Structure 1
Amino acid sequence: MTNKVALVTGASSGIGEATARELQSLGFTVYGAARRTDRLQKLSADGIRALAMDVTDDVSMQAGIERIIAETGRIDVLVNNAGYGSYGALEDVDIDEGRRQFEVNVFGAIRLAQLALPHMRKQRSGTIVNITSMGGRLHTPLGGWYHGTKFALEALSDCLRLEVAPFGIDVVVVEPGGIATEWGGIAATHLEETSGTGAYKAQADAVAKSLRSEANVNRNSPPSVIADAIGKGVTARRPRTRYAVGFGAKPLIAARGLLTDRAFDSLISRATGLPRT
């Protein structure tokens, strides 16, 4: 394990920070990536290598992979964790913001996989972990662009898993449920800025309230549960293809599979407090 190398994106806080620390504890040499390395000082102080990387900037992604290979000669694990939730009614969200949501959550992840794969194929080993969400298996109101990216990353991960299996490379999808990070508050604020006035105001108010709900926040799981699942996935001889972990993930994904579309719509509408028509 002392020779194995991992790259974790979005490592400055939350799931990314917890994952970087978990992989280091398992013996990996860990590179933690974020747009601003000043936010990685706590990780650097503990021996995790800080890497400036913007997953919407191809030059910075290439430079990051090149540095890892130059310093260590290999890359064994890529954890695509960088992402955010762009909430707002589809009618309201500027199309450029929709494109940016895909650039960060989807194209950045796949581009990093493209850059890492030649080295993994040469080694005949490696694991790519794509952090999607339970939101990649189900839908909620006013989160269309976010869910779209996560559904897309789920499908791309399935295709990639088949393509790279002959080279000894695994692709693992991790589907977090409710996690105690900054994500919900940021998504709620963005939602209010986008759809807090106009035709979708009542829905936006309800969903923002749900995202910030103290009851929900108190039930959310710590980021460490995701880090633990990633640790299991990258050290398993034959990892599962999917790990659904964190508050609500397994029951909600199961409900989506069992209920009709209309029944699930009704369930989610009640859960988010949407006004009745």
Structure 2
Amino acid sequence: MTRVVIITGISSGMGRAAALYFQKQGFEVYGGARRIARLIDLNELGIHTQKLDVTDKLSIRGLVDHVIKEQGRIDILINNAGYGEYGPLEEIPIENARRQFEVNLFAVNQLTQLVLPVMRRQKSGRIINISSIAADVYSPLGGWYHATKAGLNMWSDVLDQEVKPFGIRSVVIQPGLTKSEWSKIAMENARKNLLKNSPYTGLVDKVEKLFSEISTGATSEDLAKVFYQAATDSRPKRRYYNSIMDHGMVMVARTMPNTYRAVLSRLMK
């Protein structure tokens, strides 16, 4: 039986690498992104692609209906689409903060609601939620992003308890900084969110420098393998990390918050 996976945000980075990796492992891969031009080559390789806005109910309904019509089942949903709305909390427009929650958390819930009835009928399925170590590890300018990822972790844990009796599991992957467009886009957003003559301009420079120095060096292809492990483990874990360093940073932030804050303060200097 061919296994079927839906992956959101496959136009670049981890989502794109995961789509290619899952296909190589024999999955029927369905997915989409807003930037349709970036999906052409994936489609030519046999990956089922379409324009997808995860905040549009009609768009995500169209994707799920298409998969069910062609395959009759959905084995894995990977909620990968997301971005970082960085900037000082004093200056980020509230509509931008709402958009961050719409994409990073509420859209995950809406898409999951659509696939759960199918998985429940199958008595099997897995929801994989791409969070971040930023759910626990924080830095200045990332307030709204951190809030969405912390919320996603808790949401996933609650969902897992609710759907486990039906043979469905909900798990979280927490990547660190990777070699991708993510940090570049996050810092571009931080600068866009600065007011004229903002007192936080120097802080943006410091955070951008910090990001460039603490990148773990993980590639999108590295994370694609973590996605696959989370999707196929016979006994899935609540959390998946790409490296011991990522896991260690989370453990320090969670169990020694004062130590983490002190280290962060030194790094910011």
1:268 maps to a residue whose letter is L
1:269 maps to a residue whose letter is S
Gaps of 5+ in 2: none
Kept in 1, the 8 Å contact 2:132–2:149? The answer is: yes
SS in 2 for 1:221: coil
Specify the alignment match of 1:258 in structure 2: 255
- The Cα shift of 1:238 comes to 1.2
Specify the alignment match of 1:199 in structure 2: 199
Gaps of 5+ in 1: none
- The Cα shift of 1:10 comes to 0.4
Equivalent runs, 1:70-219 vs 2, <5 Å: 70-195=69-194, 197-211=197-211, 213=212, 215-217=213-215, 219=216
- 1:50-100 CA distance string (max 9 Å, x none): 122101111101111011101111111000000000101111100000000
SS in 2 for 1:96: helix
- The Cα shift of 1:207 comes to 0.7
TM-score, L = length of structure 1:
0.92
Specify the alignment match of 1:47 in structure 2: 46
Moved over 6 A (4+): none
* Two-structure CA RMSD over aligned residues (Å): 1.5
SS in 2 for 1:51: strand
- 1:185-211 CA distance string (max 9 Å, x none): 111111122237422222122112223
SS in 1 for 2:111: helix
1:235 maps to a residue whose letter is T
Tell me: CA distance 1:247–1:224, structure 2 relative to 1, closer, same or farther (3 Å): farther
SS in 1 for 2:237: coil
Kept in 2, the 8 Å contact 1:221–1:247? The answer is: no
1:262 maps to a residue whose letter is N
Is the counterpart of residue 235 in structure 1 residue 232 in structure 2? yes
Kept in 1, the 8 Å contact 2:136–2:254? The answer is: no
TM-score, L = length of structure 2:
0.95
CA distance in 2, matches of 1:232, 1:225: 11
Kept in 2, the 8 Å contact 1:195–1:204? The answer is: no
| Fraction of identical pairs, as percent | 40
1:263 maps to a residue whose letter is T
- The Cα shift of 1:246 comes to 4.6
Tell me: CA distance 1:246–1:54, structure 2 relative to 1, closer, same or farther (3 Å): farther
Specify the alignment match of 2:222 in structure 1: 225
Equivalent runs, 1:18-57 vs 2, <5 Å: 18-57=17-56
Kept in 1, the 8 Å contact 2:9–2:81? The answer is: yes
Kept in 1, the 8 Å contact 2:175–2:246? The answer is: yes
